Amino acid sequence: MFLRAIILIRHSTYSSGKNVVANFRTIGKGASVKSVIAIPTRHFGITGTLCRANETFDDFRAREEKKEQEYVKQQQASGAAGTSSSSQVETFSSTSNDQQAPDPDVERAKEMILDAALAFVQSHGWSKQAIAKGAETVNYPSVSHGLFPRGGIELVHHFYKQCNLKLIDYLKQETADLERVPNPSEFARKAIEYRLRLLEPYLKYWPQALGLMALPPNAPHSLANVLTLVDDICYYAGDRSVDFNWYTRRIGLACIYKTTELYMLQDSSTGFEKTWKFLERRMEEASLVHDFLVKSEDATHHLQNAVGSAFTTARNILGLNFERR
């Protein structure tokens, strides 16, 4: 039998809602006409429960309010559990980050990249571009500069660290056969000259490096580099004092080093002759600075505390200790 259904939809509006009336007419042999009233179905929650046709409005409202209350309770319970778990995750994460030591393989790769990047400072300055070029030189992708989120300042600090290590090797060689340095002032002058000569290949771009080191986020590490430098010079020059002289010598030497460094940037003489003469004059004046600093007992006490804290902080920033071999 072939059936053909004609659906006629009529909408009637009542105060409680809408009913859909579907009239199905079957045409064929022995067919009869049937009228069916279809009650629209609604789904609630995730169980797909159907609203009964004979349910009163009050029953419907009571059931929905009950479901709403259950839903609110579930949300509150899940929210509390989520907050607790996230708090535990954050605590664990912060603890893990604090205790996690740097990966030696990653540190070695970073050292290789920075060493290679120094060759590109003259063409790209102290920048991420130089680091990217260095990474390509040692067969790492150029995006490896992402290992250095602070950018060019990390290349500057690396160079400063390498120069300080070379200075220590120089100081050890100079004092290897000596029980005592005969002229500590001359020894310190030569050490400063040696250290400044290491800047010559990058002197044209050193003002950029000084600008990066002077930025507030970079200043603590930069200051630590300078304080460590002069501390090493004083130590190998034979300074084993435990009184205020320990501090005044290092303050004076740090001032001499930085002023000579700035003078060197503007020196156009052959072999930086004017710079080394400037250094000699500053060393001669160092004794006068020392005498001035130790005249006042109050100034001595406060300066001793301040400088002592500064040198300790510098060593901690760089991860160094005071043991020398």
- Within 13 Å, how many C-alpha atoms sit on residue 290's CB side? 17
Residue 12 banded pLDDT, cuts 50, 70, 90: very low
Mean pLDDT of the chain: 74
> What is the residue-wise DSSP string for 243-272?
STHHHHHHHHHHHHHHHHHHHHHT--SGGG
Dump pLDDT digits (tens) for 192-205.
Answer: 999 999 999 999 99
| pLDDT at residue 296 tops 50 | no
Average confidence (pLDDT) over 278-289: 80
Interatomic CA distance for residues 274 and 306, integer angstroms: 34
Query: Would you call 117 exposed, middle or buried from its count of C-beta atoms within 10 A (0-12, 13-18, 19+)?
Result: buried
Q: How high is the pLDDT of residue 92?
A: 39
Average confidence (pLDDT) over 35-52: 43
| pLDDT at residue 13 tops 80 | no
Who wins on pLDDT, 309 or 117? 117
Who wins on pLDDT, 139 or 313? 139
Residue 99 banded pLDDT, cuts 50, 70, 90: very low
pTM for the full model?
Answer: 0.61
Residue 47 banded pLDDT, cuts 50, 70, 90: very low
Interatomic CA distance for residues 220 and 216, integer angstroms: 8
Residues in contact with 253: Cβ distance below 8 Å, sequence separation at least 6, in sequence order? 188, 192, 230, 233, 234, 286
| pLDDT at residue 44 tops 60 | no
Beta-strand (E) ranges in the chain? 8-14, 17-24, 34-38, 43-44, 49-50
Q: How high is the pLDDT of residue 194?
A: 97
* Number of residues that make up the chain: 325
Q: How high is the pLDDT of residue 73?
A: 79
Dump pLDDT digits (tens) for 212-227.
Answer: 999 999 999 999 999 8
Residue 324 banded pLDDT, cuts 50, 70, 90: low
Dump pLDDT digits (tens) for 62-93.
Answer: 777 777 778 777 777 776 555 554 444 444 34
Strand order in the sheet with 34-38: 8-14, 17-24, 34-38
Q: How high is the pLDDT of residue 208?
A: 96
Average confidence (pLDDT) over 40-67: 56
Lowest mean pLDDT among 62-66, 89-93, 144-148, 266-270: 89-93
| pLDDT at residue 23 tops 90 | no
Domain locations along the chain: 104-149, 152-304
Percentage, residues of the chain above pLDDT 70:
61
Q: How high is the pLDDT of residue 89?
A: 44
Q: How high is the pLDDT of residue 6?
A: 37
Average confidence (pLDDT) over 128-136: 93
Average confidence (pLDDT) over 267-295: 80
